[in-house]
Chains A and B, each alone.
Chain A
Amino acid sequence: MAQYVVNWILLGCFYAAIGLGFSLIWGIMNIVNLAQGSLVILGAYVAYWSYSILHLNPFLGILTAMVVLFCVGYTIQYLAINRVIRAPILVTFMMTFGLALLISNLLQAFFTGGYKAINTPYSSAGITLLGARIPLLNVAVAAIAVMLTALLSFFLSRTRVGNAILAVGMDRDAARLMGVSLARTYALTFGIGAALAGAAGGMLAMTLQFSPIFTGQYTLFAFVIVALGGLGTPWAALAGGLLFALAEVFGPLIPGVGFGLDTAIAFAVLVLVLILRPNGLLGRPFYA
């Protein structure tokens, strides 16, 4: 039992990282970034190469992934998404989907669908506590995820640039009148969201396997996490991640469910929550 709890908490924090960037982009720009999963996998690849080619420490690999993905995200927003941002949601939906297809298929074309992972000598290091095995790498990853959540929250509420982003999220025309550049703020927001996806990718590369096949799944996971937790604050992504992990870890224990139903479980929970609390668990109408 204790093992399940450990798995739950560690997985939940990791999931929070998946949902963070998605939540930012959605909360500020009202864009459901269907390309989030492919950005995560792209980040995983960047981290993988920085380890295997540049021989960087995998933790630095996370940082590298963040930097690279930030640039990618900024460019994508500036060149493509900014052109459809005032269009009906179907159009932005399709745009991000097209980007997702583009990125994940490019990855698949160049690197095939083979599973990859970063394997270090300390990859399986762990301690055993109360009968549960606690993999230390996962603990580090979970800690990083929580730290990123805190950083994002601080950045948004305490820095000037962060405030600009919040302002644009609340009322873009008013923000514009205050002198905030919409194009650049949006690009910045998407860049940060992509960077967070990159971080999640780096974490993914260290703890699990990755392949371009998973892009869609991670996007769906991100959606469920954010929809569960709500859009109001970065901490909501943590709540959503924990809730989602709860379902994923304990769900298969329910008689009749079994394994292999990850997505199904996720969406059952999602639809339930949405019906009962349309704004998610911690959701607030605006992002802060």
Chain B
Amino acid sequence: MARQTQDHEIVTDSATAAAPRESRAWLWSPGLGVVVLAVIGLVPLTGDQSALSLWTFIVMYCVLAQGWNLIGGFAGRAAFGNVAFFGIGAYTVALLLERNQSYWLGLVLAPVIAGLFAFLLGLPVLRLRGHYFGIATLGVAEALGQVVQSKNVGAPSGEISLTPPSLNFQVSNALFFYGFLALSLVTLLGTTWLTRSRFGYALVAIRENEQAAEALGIATYWYKVGAFVLSALPTAVAGGLFAYWQLSFDPVGEGGAFDVTISVAMILMTVLGGAGTILGPILGAIIIEYLDQYTSTAFTTIHGPLLGALIVLVTIFLPQGLVRLVQELMRAPVGVKQSYPMRVRQGVQRVTRFLASNGI
């Protein structure tokens, strides 16, 4: 009897007597992710421009959350400054466009530069213990923003304003929507492949118990650096797309390329959806960004505190994320047949106990 597993688990085996088969249970999370993205892909067909803009942002955040998931969810290291890679991507593209270079060059160069930066940054910073690593990355993101602003990178105060370059095809908003969507899909597939590989196993082992992982032959430090670099890549490409799409942006402040709120948003989205799962970041991004946009128009004044309250509630009641919550509720006990209501009831008990164990 196959059971629901966390989708990062590579193998689930079935019956007892025969040699264990590989079950297909791991497929449902990435599969559902693809379906969700496909459904979102229908949005441009409605012709509604404001909806298109909203969903473009949503899909962009999907990519950001998926990127963070690699270092924060799978490797278990809470990096707080991934927006730095986003900003690097945005400014790489912006600077190249200002010098009339090819746009495609920018999209290729952005992840390369960001990846290199992540590697060089990761080397010292990943040696730091938990809190320090998080804040060090946060500080780097803030510092980068400040440097760009005060050194007038690309424009006075770093406030970029680009003229759209001429291309031989029609540039439309839908184009960027599909650009982000494709990026998200590629990241999804890439992450899925990764989790089923040796690398993925190493990351999960490191997350669960780093000391044991080391004792079993895993070079934990290098895998962490690797995860950090990987998390930078889709984030940087998203930044590059963002630069081209918006054409004008600031380094700091709300909605800026190095805005720390973006960093926190991607973490919140991943955590809400389910860190370390494939579907989680996508789900979380949709929920949070939609809520954010909705409340900022409907409840402009309290939209900020509302987000804050939401974060507080999520950390108390949903720290493991929605996807894992569902998995936990649906979990079939080993070797015993149980009806769904019974399973859910026991799942609720398990979850309540887990939440209580987080407190005093």
Contact = CB atoms under 8 A, between A and B. Distances in A.
Is A bound to B?
Answer: yes
B143 A267 contact: yes
B132 A227 contact: yes
B136 A270 contact: yes
A268 B301 CA distance: 36
Interface stretch (A64-72, A81-89, A133-141, A234-242): A81-89
Contact of A94 (B125, B140, B311, B360): B311
A274 B147 CA distance: 21
Contacts of B358: 83-87, 91
A207 interface: no
Main SS class of interface, B? helix
A109 B308 CA distance: 13
Interface residues of A, number: 52
Contact of B142 (A94, A106, A186, A267): A267
A164 interface: no
A83 B264 contact: no
Contact of A266 (B129, B139, B308): B139
B312 A90 contact: no
Contacts of B127: 275
Contacts of A255: none
A274 B304 contact: no
Q: Chain A interface secondary structure, helix, strand, loop or mixed?
A: helix
Contacts, number: 151
Nearest to B141: A267
A89 to B, nearest CB: 5
Interface string B273-313: 00100000000000000000000000001111101111110
A106 B312 CA distance: 15
Interface residues of B, number: 50
Nearest to B310: A98
B74 to A, nearest CB: 13
Contacts of B150: 258-261, 264
A93 B78 contact: yes
A216 interface: yes
Interface in A212-244: 216, 220, 223-224, 227
A94 B355 CA distance: 16
A181 B334 CA distance: 39
Given A98-B310, A264-B143, 9 more contacts: A84-B359, A93-B78, A93-B134, A95-B315, A98-B309, A186-B360, A268-B143, A274-B128, A275-B127
Interface of B: 72, 78, 80, 124-125, 127-132, 134-136, 138-140, 142-144, 146-147, 149-150, 260, 264, 267-268, 271, 275, 301-305, 307-312, 314-316, 319, 355, 357-360
Closest 9 CB pairs of A and B: A98-B311, A105-B304, A102-B308, A101-B308, A267-B139, A264-B143, A87-B358, A98-B312, A260-B150
